[in-house]
């Protein structure tokens, strides 16, 4: 290969030969075929004696060729209107917009309960309410269990802890404090088994329950359901006491009390195509007209979308939250609550440099979550205590 040069590109060796004034390339080592040892040695020896030339000396294809080689679509095939956004939430928390068409219930959504004709953004109104209680809960799996009772394979179980509490925001001071904190620990077994946990310290007492199935996911669902029920009970108790409640997540109790379910993520497409566009057009502290979810069903509730904050270079739904109230409230009360929440809640929206789920994870709720997790105890210490208790003898 007279007049050739050796060029190293990544892991491949490119032998460049000058032929009649042009440049030809041959990749050595890129093929799946292996040369015989003697031939390979001869080739290697010849290559080592070649002059080394910089790749910058070689003719290059146009820049567009490099660019198109790394695109899933050739340049020009993507709509000029399309734009890719990186969500502001930390990836481990998922996305605030995770629409699942299979969850839609469009036939049971009434979009005419407040505005029959064309929808326009509606401004929120701060009615000067003195105090708002924010309610939330957290849970964790303390340990995975396996129960052997001498009859068949081990039965799966979990030890879990959940905590539910509230933060009261006194707007007249202004100040906020944790006013309620309920901690509960439960051991849940599958296959209908229920065995008491061994004794531990007074702070680590697990009551025992069982579920009929054997699916480990059912154990977690049971724990989550108990937490959600405790949230609903606390929210209802506070609301009956005359406190205005904003509870994290959908509302579970549809009594005619003034409590709001605050939904951070969007998993269900509720609005029709001719009205959903208004969501992206909302300004900060503006809302959509009310719509009724589950119209004619067992659990109807009024709902609306509103914007917590305008996110710099965010997509149309960045900073959007949804809220809902019981339809057992009259329409005028539902409108007043929607205006109140739309105007006031953006004031406690979180900032991206503080919270990985900003702005939807509200500051009082984030603070409550941290305090509840602290009161649940250090997970490593709890796990070691469970291990020590179960290793001390056979469960009976």
146-188 pLDDT, tens digit per residue, is: 998 877 889 999 999 999 999 999 999 989 999 999 999 999 9
Helix residue ranges, H only, the chain: 37-48, 63-69, 216-240, 273-281, 331-344, 363-376, 379-391
**Nearest Cα to 224, choosing from 103, 140, 135?**
140
Per-residue pLDDT at 84: 56
Buried b (16+ CB within 10 A) or exposed e, 112-125: ebbeeeebebbebe
Per-residue pLDDT at 360: 87
In total, the chain counts a number of residues equal to 396
Per-residue pLDDT at 328: 94
Task: Collect the ranges in the chain with pLDDT lower than 70.
Answer: 1-107, 393-396
Domains in the chain with CATH codes: 4-69 (no CATH), 101-379 (3.30.2170)
CA end-to-end span of the chain, whole Å? 82
249-258 pLDDT, tens digit per residue, is: 998 878 999 9
3-class secondary-structure state, position 188: strand
266-289 pLDDT, tens digit per residue, is: 877 799 999 999 999 999 999 999
CA–CA separation, 155 vs 145, rounded Å? Answer: 8
Q: Is the peptide bond before 174 cis (omega within 30 degrees of 0)?
A: yes
**Residue 199 burial class via C-beta count within 10 angstroms: exposed 0-12, middle 13-18, buried 19 and up:** exposed
CA–CA separation, 48 vs 42, rounded Å? Answer: 10
CA–CA separation, 112 vs 115, rounded Å? Answer: 5
pTM (2 decimals)?
0.73
**Nearest Cα to 310, choosing from 363, 249, 364, 352?**
352
Residue 136 φ/ψ, nearest 5 degrees: -155, 170
**Nearest Cα to 154, choosing from 209, 214, 206?**
214
């Amino acid at each position: 290969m007279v007049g050739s040069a050796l060029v190293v590109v990544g892991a491949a060796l490119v032998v460049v030969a000058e032929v009649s004034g042009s440049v030809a390339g041959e990749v050595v080592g890129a093929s799946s075929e292996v040369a015989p040892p003697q031939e390979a040695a001869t080739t290697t020896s010849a290559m080592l004696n070649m002059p080394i030339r910089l790749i910058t000396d070689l003719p290059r294809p146009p820049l567009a060729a490099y660019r198109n080689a790394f695109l899933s679509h050739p340049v020009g095939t993507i709509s000029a209107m399309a734009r890719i956004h990186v969500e502001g939430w930390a990836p481990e928390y998922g996305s605030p917009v995770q629409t699942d068409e299979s969850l839609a219930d469009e036939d049971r959504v009434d979009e005419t309960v407040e505005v029959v004709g064309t929808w326009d953004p509606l401004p929120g109104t701060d009615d000067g309410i003195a105090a708002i209680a924010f309610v939330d809960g957290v849970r964790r799996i303390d340990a995975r269990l396996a129960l052997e009772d001498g009859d068949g394979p081990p039965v799966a179980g979990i030890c879990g802890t959940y905590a539910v509490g509230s933060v009261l925001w006194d707007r007249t001071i202004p100040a906020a404090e944790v006013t309620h904190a309920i901690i509960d620990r439960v051991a849940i077994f599958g296959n209908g088994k229920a065995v008491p946990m061994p004794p531990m310290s007074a702070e680590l007492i697990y009551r025992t329950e069982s579920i009929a199935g054997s699916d480990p996911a059912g154990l977690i669902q049971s724990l989550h359901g108990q937490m959600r029920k405790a949230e609903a009970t606390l929210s209802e108790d506070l609301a009956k006491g005359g406190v205005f409640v904003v509870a994290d997540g959908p509302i579970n109790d549809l009594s005619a009390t003034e409590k709001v379910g605050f939904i951070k993520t969007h998993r269900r497409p509720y609005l029709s195509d001719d009205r959903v566009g208004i969501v992206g057009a909302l300004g900060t502290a503006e809302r959509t007209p009310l719509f009724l979810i589950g119209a004619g069903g067992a659990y109807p509730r009024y709902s609306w979308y509103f914007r917590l904050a305008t996110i710099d270079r965010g997509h149309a739904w960045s900073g959007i939250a949804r809220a809902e109230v019981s339809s057992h409230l009259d329409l005028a009360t539902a409108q007043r609550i929607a205006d109140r929440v739309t105007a006031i809640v953006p004031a406690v929206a979180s900032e991206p440099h503080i919270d990985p789920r900003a702005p939807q994870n509200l500051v009082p709720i984030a603070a409550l979550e941290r305090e509840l997790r602290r009161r649940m105890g250090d997970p490593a210490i709890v796990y070691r205590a469970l291990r020590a208790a179960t290793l001390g003898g056979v469960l009976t």
